[in-house]
Structure 1
Amino acid sequence: MQSLWLPQEVCNKINQASRTMLWAKVGSSRCWSLVGWNIVTRPKELGGLGIRESRQVNVSLIGKLIWDLIHSPHKPWVKFLQAKYLHRESVLHAKKSNSSLWYEDWLGLGLICREVPYVHISDTDILVAQCWQQGVWNFDSLYTRLPMELANRIQQVQIPSSSIGANIFSWVGDSSECYTTASSFRFLLPSDHRFTDPIWKRVWKLHILEKVKFLLWQGLHSSLPTNHFRYIRHLDSMEGCPRCSCPQETILHAIRDCPHSKEVWLLVGNIPSQVFSMMDCFTWFKEIIINPAAKKLAIIIWWI
């Protein structure tokens, strides 16, 4: 995984083994995933469990090798590959402030010469530095006409005004501009603003058993296997509560609103009033976790 591009079938088997480990019962290879794999593979602070998807791990580890190939020429394996295959040149070539405007991918969007009908013979030797004048782009001296869309994309690029010497390769996935496998993995994650709530990090900091934390995490995702949850996924023909006559055994009904569950809450005593007032599952579990008595409330939920 660290040095070879794994076949997708191998990645699928690794992912399946991870899902089986997480969801299957002891002694069984069959499992029912209560929370989607795309959520489970997120970091804990983003609503997941920190289990990494195998293809993304494979890409991140290979990326580290490429980074070392560029930035660590002193390493023995880098010296060997450069001498054998690259003739001591870099796998990527960043020249000293003389990148061609047309024939080098300095913009990161492909060669610009392919974006225009033709390059005028008078412009063939034009460098990027010649078009960047006093902090602004100037294409007035070009004989080759740039498409408006391309010109606008270039205008969005800013080049440092100070003399920085040779061009270097930097990593956009981290503020340090240095590549790490962890930052690469986060860079590959799809952005989703639903999982930026600090509650995801807080639930794992509670001083309770890990299995209780896991229960709260499932509750935040509205993914506890109640009869209603099973019914809407066509895993059960009945969605009613087996302990009372309620036609739907939702998560909040099973934990809070069922007469048998409510009796437990009342027997404990000193329960915050908001425990019985909220109707949204995520909001309810969130209030439980941020409550000063979160440890006691979580244990009550576990035993119910």
Structure 2
Amino acid sequence: MHKPNKLWVRVLPHKYLSNSSVLQVQAKPQDSPVSKGLLNARDRLHTGFVFRLSIGETSLWHDDWSGMGNIAPTIPYVDIHDVERKLCDLVVNNAWNLQVLYTRLPVNVLHRLQKIKPSTVPNRHDVWTWETNTMGIYTVRDAYRTQFKSIPIVLGARWRSSPSCPHCSAHEEDVLHCLRNCRHSQELWLKFGAFTWPNFTVGDHSSWIRSQARSSNGIKFIMGLWGVLKWRHNMIFEDSPWSLEEAWRWVCHEHDEIVAVLGEGAGSMDCWLGSRWQPPLAGSIKLNVDGSYQAVDECSEAGGLARDSQGN
């Protein structure tokens, strides 16, 4: 909203918005996780954003100044005198002057317009801004104040611990407890077999992370850290948190994707965490099947693949 010339800001609207406003577009089943995540964040923060007039170059009819889309399709008739109207044309002495309009606006449009402060500022563009921030930009501080006040956060290199672990009620939660010693974290590390790795239970959190990340199990360790934090956040933020098996499946998938990209141990079954296809006995055919169902569309699909012992 504030930096429209940035590449990612230009790409995402072109790909996902279809000329709609980011404040009104709805997620589609085929959208990417990135797009769905942005729209989910939008839904959580929507009420904190307001439209701020500056030079007032926004079109009254064709731009989304209300967060509910442009109003042109809802107006049955626009007088020829009003076709090029901009919001700045309706502001006089920091007040709305709707008497200049020849076109009658519906009551709901008038209510939306009255929510915007009718004051113009020269040399600045009209923009959607975060209401409680003087700069108009949503920051990490705003996120903490509005969304995450009860959650421990990382400041610099220090961990601001809560009095006790929210998951296992340990006496005090610190970095090592969160990442390794909490019983939930240990359940995931046991899936890796991590407690058999050299020096896995030794050292403060800084030396522990450095030594394990540089070891022969470095990729598994890094993915384990990611999985532990992902599962922890899932438990805190989601209404239906993952089970251990669901968390492990996520870790296996992400780990194997990275291994495939890096090409490490290609061809060796030992480097994969997830289950891999096993060929049938010579002279036999194996049929693998799968299916899915989408409740939103009430659609289901199924498919299968038959292969011999050579994978053909």
Give me the TM-score of the superposition, normalised by structure 2. 0.31
Instruction: Return the structure number with greater strand share.
Output: 2
Structure with larger RCO (C-alpha < 8 A, sep 6+): 1
Give me the TM-score of the superposition, normalised by structure 1. 0.32
